[in-house]
Amino acid sequence: MSDDLGADRFQRTHEWAALTRAELAQARDHGALPVLPIGAIEQHGDHLPVGTDTICAGAVAVRAAAALRAAEPDAPHVLVLPPLPFGFSPHHKDWPGTITLSAATILGVISDIADSVMRVGFDRLLIVNGHGGNQGPLTTACTALASRGLAAGWVNYFDPGEAEWLAMLPGGWPAVGHACTFETSLVMALRPDEAARIAIRAAGLPPRLAQPYAQDADDPVRHAKVRFAPVFTNSAAHRDCGYVGEPALATPALGEALLGPLVSGLARSFGVFARAGLRTGAG
């Protein structure tokens, strides 16, 4: 049997899991960039699915991989691994539907995935994050991996295009928040069959313009630049609504508009990270 697959056989898809071992070896030899989306399974109010963060990170990553190929045919090919659905979500665990990994487990999972990808010759891994609670563990994991010679980095899917999409958001919460206008609109666009149902659930939800730990809308902790986990508790003493921002303002059209800069911004980051000269602790 011939091993000659043709120069571009691995480029037929951006899905890592759809390729054979021989095609993945060929992709490695042509400098392909492996990308791992990671999200969470956690409550997103009563209007959004618990898989919201995973849905958004995975979809934007796949679209960004295709966008980079379309914009720069000579750029390294991006291969998107199956999204890791579980994240670090202990601050949502009071609510039904939330599944959280411990900090030690998520660090181990990221390390094992990076080891698996790079032990066979891929020289780097980029993690695309969709959940704020993952940011601390991801920074720790990627720093530890780079310190022992494995070039792993991470990026929030919404960060690279922020300068463009931020101006599109209506209302008094001009940012990514939990089950907010941004996330609600994005899920409506990505899951059009669910858009009408989501809109009905979100209609009439009152604005929440502070994190759940804040006793007033001014949120002095945030203004003091102190980082504190936004615990969404379902306890009898402190039950809250489970979202921030103004989900009632969300529309599918806004979600479609947001996808433009989200995808193009992340595509640019893919190209930069794939080509960058990276120093690690390999010696």
The domain that holds 110 is classified in CATH as 3.40.50.10310
In a domain, 4, yes or no: no
pTM of the model: 0.95
| Alpha helices by DSSP H, the chain | 21-29, 52-71, 103-118, 135-147, 162-165, 181-190, 192-202, 220-223, 252-275
pLDDT recorded at residue 5:
60
CA 63 to chain centre: 13
Q: Give a yes or no: residue 207 inside a domain.
A: yes
H or E segment and range at residue 12: none
Model pLDDT for residues 105-160, shown as the tens digit of each residue: 999 999 999 999 999 999 999 999 999 999 999 999 999 999 999 999 999 999 99
Q: Is 179 inside a domain boundary?
A: yes
User: 249: domain range?
Assistant: 15-275
Per-residue pLDDT band for 98 (boundaries 50, 70, 90) equals very high
pLDDT at 27 over 60: yes
In this structure, the number of other CB atoms found within 10 A of the CB of residue 163 comes to 10
Task: Evaluate whether residue 282 is within a structural domain.
Answer: no
What pairs with residue 125 in β-bridges? 152
pLDDT at 282: 64
| Per-residue pLDDT at 216 | 60
Residue with tokens 């666009």: 189
Residue 74, φ and ψ in degrees, nearest 5: -90, 0
Residue that the structure tokens 């502070």 belong to: 210
pLDDT band at residue 254 using 50, 70 and 90 as cut-offs: very high
pLDDT tens-place string over residues 200-235:
999 999 999 888 887 666 778 878 889 888 899 998
Residue 68, pLDDT score: 98
Is 244 domain-assigned?
Answer: yes
Query: Looking at residue 235, what is its pLDDT?
Result: 87
Residue 193 and residue 227: Cα distance in Å, rounded?
37
Q: Is residue 86 part of a domain?
A: yes
Domain presence at residue 127: yes
- Total structural domains within the chain: 1
According to the model, what pLDDT value does residue 228 have? 87
The two most distant CA atoms of the chain are separated, in Å, by 69
CB 135 within 8 A of CB 227: no
Q: DSSP readout, 177-226?
A: -TT-HHHHHHHHHH-HHHHHHHHHHHTTPPPB-S-TT-SSTT-HHHHTT-
Which residues touch 227 (CB under 8 Å, ≥6 apart)? none
Give the pLDDT score at 31: 97
Is 216 among the domain residues? yes
